[in-house]
Amino acid sequence: MLEYPDPDTIRILITSDNHVGYNENDPITGDDSWKTFEEVMSIAREKNVDMVLQGGDLFHVNKPSNKSMYHVMKSLRLNCMGDKPCELELLSDPSMVFKYSEFTDVNYEDPNMNVSIPVFGISGNHDDASGDALLSPIDILQISGLVNHFGKVMESDNIEVTPLLFQKGCTKLALYGLASVRDERLFRTFKDGKVKFNVPTVRDGEWFNLMCVHQNHTGHTNTAFLPEQFLPDFFDLIVWGHEHECIPHLVHNPTKGFDVLQPGSSVATSLCEAESKEKQVFILECKSGMQPQLTGIPLKSVRRFIMRDVSLKDVTGLKPHDRESITKFLQGEVDAMIKEGIGERANLDADGLEEIIPSSMLPLIRLRIDYSAKNDQDLDYQVENARRFSNRFVGKVANTNNVIQLYKRKKQTTKKLYDQMDVDYLAKDRDGDLGVQTMVQNMLKSMNLSLLPELGLNEAVGRFVEKDEKTALKDYIDREIENEVKLLISNQQLINVDDIHDLKKLVRDVRSANTLDSSRELFQAQETAAALNITLDAPNGTINSSMHSKGAEKHRENHPKLDRRPRAARKAKSQAQRPPAFSAEIIDSDHSDPSVSSMEIDDELEDAPSRGHRDVDTLEPPVDERSSRKSSAAKKPRKTAPKSKHPKTPKTDILNSLLASKRG
């Protein structure tokens, strides 16, 4: 066990993308995620850290199973609760950060709880807020007192980031957090200067400014990432979640002057090169007047992942049509990778029989095979079916269905060299890996859908693939069927339609109107529900210069000052006040840089509302009550149709029956 840090050193354990619950129904790898998270929390206890910083995606889905929630809460309670006093002194008013919750204090200052290691976390893109109340699974942990959920974003087009200010001895820490926001939306918000950071103005230069974000670090599409130059230059360190590749050292940004740490994930959620790197957690030690010290700790419970690439045309002696020889060669390559993955357990026992390997020791194996021909006119190499070949290794590998991946290498094209800091080039011409939603969007552009809105369908597919929401597509289609049939029934033009083509055109027109109406109703309802639990302390997203004074004084009156004495002694101590409060000022994001001001957002993003598409990532601001009544009155004729009591049938049958009844 590591010794306690000295009175002036803040020791922080940094982890991110734990993805508890990933593939939990798999009989071999189902328990990997929570076992690794349990190891992470045990490291925090053994290293005697002052706090744990979690960079998002604690859960793999935003509706985790009971099993996932149970293991996370168990690990937090076993390792973070105890009589060891937390030596961090909170200087700011936590209600400015936890203003969306009824419990506006950090959990280690709650007199009803014994928290020795506080956990501060943000929500990622997998465990983000959903539902009418915009709640995430991290909110459940927050309300139970196990986690401090900070950095929550309620309006993606008007973001305000307020820090938590800590002090230990002479070391002062300002902790900022920004939850995951859709990358294109956040890109536009930064460009428009709608992201504001509240910074302490007292004792300038004494604060170690630490920022935690959960966004794409590199450009997967034109604007689907957060450029580092968008962030202000007063930060000292950025903890960058969402990217699963572990970079075990600080990367300095010479333009902005801060360092970036990409801790990576603690469990492999895809069989790619980035996931094959060694998984680690990091111990960060901050001390006033000294450079921060970063120490990486490899995780021992992570399943071994071996990945290789092979090009069949580079292997001497192989012929494209000789499938048997190709299969034998590939089987030898996989056997060598398995031996590397399980080490000494790959040896044979005294009887010459292979030892039965426990499922927890089975490695993940991925062999990428380029089967393209040597020349364009030649025959491609004939490889056995990937699934059938993978099933040969049942009992030897953890992924028995996708051991190999077949691909054909594309022709090399010359790419223009560009500067990593050239935002204009990144915004217009940068190429990257295409996500599922990007591919679906490109496909829908070439289609003229008559019944379903393209953007809404794209979002439903994204939720189904990326967040594992099994009913996302069904719920979306059922909702669109119900809404559009109501509008068609109430539409008087249907009586005068004789031609089926005119009927389809009418459906498209109704669909376009329905998209706008349902979108407004959905997000107004969400904002109204969320507003019932949220009270902003200042109008129009601004904060007075005394942000940390009035609220902080009230907070200090109700909570005892922390010291190193046992918990029972601190509870009995009379209430004490904190040092003088810190004021804060508002600074805008660096949207005024020349390289940023000239950037153009994709025309699709700017023109989407005008085309009547549903924008599911933007929550419209609360509307005035009078205008809301007028809007409701204007929409009233569309909602007079009674709800059908009959079971749902395909929309084509409903339309045909309506048309048949009219002609009859």
Report d(CA 659, CA 68) in Å as an integer.
Answer: 50
What is the CB neighbour count within 10 angstroms for residue 27? 7
Cα of first residue to Cα of last residue in the chain, in angstroms, is: 84
**Which one, of 100, 39, 13, lies nearest residue 533 by Cα?**
100
Report d(CA 64, CA 96) in Å as an integer.
Answer: 28
Q: Residue 549: is it exposed, middle or buried by C-beta count within 10 angstroms (0-12/13-18/19+)?
A: middle
Q: Which of 19, 60, 71, 126 is catalytic?
A: 126
Is the sign of the CA dihedral 51, 52, 55, 59 positive or negative? negative
Those residues with Cβ within 8 angstroms of residue 94's Cβ, 6 or more apart along the chain or in another chain: 104, 105, 106, 164, 555
What is the CB neighbour count within 10 angstroms for residue 109? 21
Per DSSP, what are the bridge partners of residue 10? 286
Per DSSP, what are the bridge partners of residue 404? 367
Structure tokens at 638: 């569309």
Active site residue 126: yes
Per the document, the length of the chain is 664
Report d(CA 484, CA 510) in Å as an integer.
Answer: 7
Burial 342-352 (b: 16+ CB within 10 A, else e): beeebeeeeee
**Which one, of 165, 118, 171, lies nearest residue 285 by Cα?**
171
Specify the DSSP element, H or E, that contains 614: none
**Which one, of 121, 124, 130, lies nearest residue 617 by Cα?**
130
Structure tokens at 224: 């689907």
CA count, 13 A, side-chain hemisphere, 209: 21
Report d(CA 84, CA 566) in Å as an integer.
Answer: 7
State the DSSP string of 434-502.
PPHHHHHHHHHHT---SSS-HHHHHHHHHHHHHS--TTHHHHHHHHHHHHHHHHHHH-GGGGG--SHHH
Specify the DSSP element, H or E, that contains 505: helix 500-531
Sort strands 364-370 and 404-407 into parallel, antiparallel or unpaired: parallel
Contact 366, 402 (CB under 8 A): yes
Classified as helix, coil or strand, 98 is: coil
Q: Which residue has the tokens 């295409």?
A: 434
**Which one, of 283, 611, 245, lies nearest residue 444 by Cα?**
611
Sort strands 164-168 and 89-90 into parallel, antiparallel or unpaired: antiparallel
Cite the active site residues. 126
